[in-house]
A and B are shown apart, each in its own frame.
Chain A
Amino acid sequence: MIARIANVSAISETIKRIVLEAADGSALPAGAPGAHIMLNIPGPRRVWKNAYSLVAFGSAYEIIVRRVQNSRGGSAWLHDHAAIGETIEISMPVNLFPMARTAQKHLLLSAGIGITPFLAYVPALRAHEKKFEWHHCCKLADAPAFAALLPPGREAILHTQRKTLDLPALLKRQKLNTHLYVCGPAKFMDTAVEAAQKLGWPGAKIHTESFGGATGGAPFRVKLAKSNIALDVGPEESLLEAMENAGLNPPCLCRGGACGECELPVLEGIPDHHDHFLSDSQHKTGASMMTCVSRAKTPELVLDF
Chain B
Amino acid sequence: MIKSRPIYDNFRIDPAGRAHLLVTDLSRLPVDVLPEFSDVETWVVHVVAPGIQAQDVATKAFRAVADLLASLGARLAREPVGLRLYAVGTEPFLWDVNNVARAAGLGGGEIFLKHAGSLKRRVYCSHCKTMNEDVTKNIVKCRGCGANLFVRDHFSRRLAAYMGVAVDAEVPGEIPQVEVMYP
Contacts and interface: CB of A to CB of B under 8 A. Distances in A.
Q: Does B associate with A?
A: yes
Interface of A: 102-104, 171-178, 197, 199-205
Interface residues of B, number: 20
A294 B83 CA distance: 35
Contacts of B76: 176
The main secondary structure of chain A at its interface with chain B is: loop
Contacts of A175: 77-81, 105
Interface stretch (B16-24, B145-153, B166-174): B16-24
12 contacts: A104-B105, A175-B78, A176-B76, A178-B81, A200-B16, A200-B18, A200-B19, A200-B82, A200-B83, A202-B107, A202-B108, A202-B110
B121 interface: no
B162 to A, nearest CB: 25
Contact of A178 (B16, B83, B105): B105
B16 A202 contact: yes
A173 B81 CA distance: 8
> Which of A104, A175, A200, A201 has its CB near the most chain B CB atoms (within 10 A)?
A200
Nearest to A178: B81
A201 B107 contact: no
Interface string B84-125: 100000000000000000001111111000000000000000
Contact of B80 (A102, A104, A176, A204): A176
The main secondary structure of chain B at its interface with chain A is: loop
Given A175-B79, A176-B76, A176-B79, A200 B104 contact: no
A200 B19 CA distance: 8
A204 B109 contact: yes
B122 to A, nearest CB: 25
Contact of B107 (A173, A197, A200, A204): A204
Contact of A176 (B16, B106, B108, B109): B106
B97 to A, nearest CB: 14
A174 B107 contact: no
Nearest to B102: A102
B107 A102 contact: yes
Contacts of A173: 80
Contacts of A201: 81-82
Nearest to A105: B105
